[in-house]
Amino acid sequence: MERIHLDTVILNASELLTLSGASHAPKLGSELGELGIIEDGGVAIRGNQIVAVDTTKNIKRLVKPGSHPRVIDAKNKTVLPGLIDPHAHLAFAGSREREFVQKIQGATYMEILESGGGINVTVKATHKASRNTLVRKGQHTLNRMLEYGTTTVEGKSGYGLEPKHEYKQLLAIRDLNLIHPIDVVPTFMGAHVIPTKYKKQPEKYVNLIIKKMIPTVAKKGLAEFCDVFTEKGVFSIEQSRQILLAGKEHGLIPKVHADEMTTFGGAELAAEVGAVSADHLLKVSKTGINALAKAQVVAVLLPATAFVLMETQYAPARELINAGVPVALATDFNPNCMTESMQLIMTLACLNMRMTPAEAISAATINAAHAINRSHLVGSLEPSKQADIVIMDVPNHEHIPYHFGVNLVKNVLKNGKIVYLTQ
Ligand code: NIG
Ligand code: FE
């Protein structure tokens, strides 16, 4: 390769995890365990793009004599793609720490929700907040996510549940994407819960979503995906199907909160409607697993949700992987599940779902990119991809989930720029 002008080079990484070769289709089965590791690795960056990923020696050879790229020394450190969080509820107001205590004392998530708490409490607070207040709160969340190594996140609405408040939340998510280094990918989730005033006529609310909210969201370009909380006592399979198909007609790609609390057929529905992902899946059935594998729907597993619900049963990650379902990981950041850290998610995935460190890293990078249709841009370190890169202060990738409860991130680069740097 000829010598070229470079803006930044990362050198001397004890392990450089490229995650290469899975941009066109997600990693399946044993591929999840392959990280494409380069020992003593380096990355060459020009503008916002990766130009080359190779050994330190070969990266040094690319530098044009007399040019002075910024050099980042990653000695004894692990370099990997920016983490991708493909399931988060963003830009809501208020908090629910009291419910945290109620849960410790024995109340279940569904009991709290059915008695008017849970999502309803956040909806009330979000109604009162202005778009700017939602942006300020969202910025706080994104700052923390960035510090913990996340460079792309999905953001769902679903705390408005009335046309103007749903649009307000999606506009706040759009603002966040513009003002923050993190790329925020918007999802419309008006079907988060049946609002209290429609409890007796849920069909009216389903109609409002289908006839008014979806067409407006699509017309204004406020979202790429449409998600539904398909669950006993929330949205039935038939209601979910109607909403997801209406979204699809308007160009919104389906996603499903599936089989979280009960075995309900959400996974089968996700496969049927051609969803890009089916998320949660704690209670997914064998038929559901096979349907996801056949349709290649990404299973987005959210172990922090099981953790805060104090569930003993987590999603069957191993069964999903063995069946050939593409598996990804996400935080499910929301007022019930308050963590911004994909590092914690990887630890929980290892210890509670018995994924290996390498599998968890694949699931939090390239497979997570597939869950939000961003695999052509991010999720691996390969020439021509966005230079979204995390440097962790650990000598190898196994340390990432092994050393938990602290932030291992040393540097974050987003689009080739250093956006986070510790001393
Ligand atoms: O993904 N399960 C439904 N929705 C969210 C929780 C939202 C909330 O409790 O505010 C979830 O866990
Ligand atoms: Fe969720």
pLDDT tens digits for range 235-260: 999 999 999 999 999 999 999 999 99
Separation of CA 227 and ligand 2 centre (Å): 9
Question: How many Å apart are CA 162 and CA 170, to the nearest integer?
Answer: 12
Question: How many Å apart are CA 56 and CA 330, to the nearest integer?
Answer: 32
Question: How many Å apart are CA 27 and CA 23, to the nearest integer?
Answer: 9
Nearest CA to ligand 1 atom 1: 332
Say whether 299 sits in a helix, a strand or coil: strand
- Report the atom number in ligand 1 closest to the C-alpha of 336: 9
Ligand of minimum distance to the alpha carbon of 96: 1
Q: Is the CB of 260 under 6 A from ligand 1?
A: yes
- Report the atom number in ligand 1 closest to the C-alpha of 335: 10
The candidate with the shortest Cα–Cα distance to 170, out of 128, 141, 131, 212, is 131
- Report the atom number in ligand 1 closest to the C-alpha of 122: 10
Separation of CA 156 and ligand 2 centre (Å): 8
Separation of CA 257 and ligand 2 centre (Å): 6
Nearest CA to ligand 1 atom 5: 334
The distance of Cα 318 from the centroid of its chain, to the nearest Å, equals 20
Q: Which pLDDT does position 346 carry in this prediction?
A: 99
Q: Is the CB of 122 under 6 A from ligand 1?
A: yes
The distance of Cα 389 from the centroid of its chain, to the nearest Å, equals 16
- Report the atom number in ligand 1 closest to the C-alpha of 113: 9
The distance of Cα 404 from the centroid of its chain, to the nearest Å, equals 19
The candidate with the shortest Cα–Cα distance to 277, out of 143, 84, 414, 60, is 84
Q: Is the CB of 336 under 6 A from ligand 1?
A: yes
How many CB atoms within 10 Å of residue 310? 11
Lookup result for tokens 């890169």: 389
Q: Which residues pair with 359 in a beta bridge?
A: none
Q: Which pLDDT does position 3 carry in this prediction?
A: 87
Numbered ranges of CATH 3.20.20.140 in the chain: 84-370
Numbered ranges of CATH 2.30.40.10 in the chain: 8-81+379-421
Q: Which pLDDT does position 238 carry in this prediction?
A: 98
- Among 337, 338, 339, which is best to mutate for testing ligand 1, by the most ligand atoms less than 8 A from CB? 337
E strand segments, 18-134: 37-46, 49-55, 70-73, 78-81, 83-85
Q: Is the CB of 227 under 6 A from ligand 1?
A: no
Separation of CA 74 and ligand 1 centre (Å): 38
Q: Which pLDDT does position 316 carry in this prediction?
A: 98
Separation of CA 334 and ligand 1 centre (Å): 6
Ligand of minimum distance to the alpha carbon of 118: 1
Q: Are 332 and 326 in contact (CB under 8 A)?
A: no
- Report the atom number in ligand 1 closest to the C-alpha of 332: 1
Question: How many Å apart are CA 249 and CA 256, to the nearest integer?
Answer: 16
The candidate with the shortest Cα–Cα distance to 369, out of 418, 411, 317, 330, is 330
Q: Which pLDDT does position 1 carry in this prediction?
A: 65
Ligand of minimum distance to the alpha carbon of 187: 2
- Report the atom number in ligand 1 closest to the C-alpha of 159: 10
Q: Is the CB of 187 under 6 A from ligand 1?
A: no
Single-letter code of the amino acid located at 141: T
Question: How many Å apart are CA 164 and CA 138, to the nearest integer?
Answer: 19
pLDDT averaged per 10 residues, the chain (length 423): 90 98 98 98 98 97 92 98 98 96 95 92 98 98 98 98 98 98 98 94 98 98 98 97 98 98 98 98 98 98 97 97 98 98 98 98 99 98 98 98 98 97 83
Question: How many Å apart are CA 325 and CA 268, to the nearest integer?
Answer: 13
User: Which CATH architecture is the domain 84-370 placed in?
Assistant: Alpha-Beta Barrel (3.20)
Question: How many Å apart are CA 107 and CA 336, to the nearest integer?
Answer: 13
Q: Is the CB of 99 under 6 A from ligand 1?
A: no
Q: Are 314 and 303 in contact (CB under 8 A)?
A: yes
- Among 126, 156, 257, which is best to mutate for testing ligand 1, by the most ligand atoms less than 8 A from CB? 257
- In CATH, the number for domain 8-81+379-421 is 2.30.40.10
Q: Is the pTM of this model over 0.95?
A: yes
Q: Is the CB of 335 under 6 A from ligand 1?
A: yes
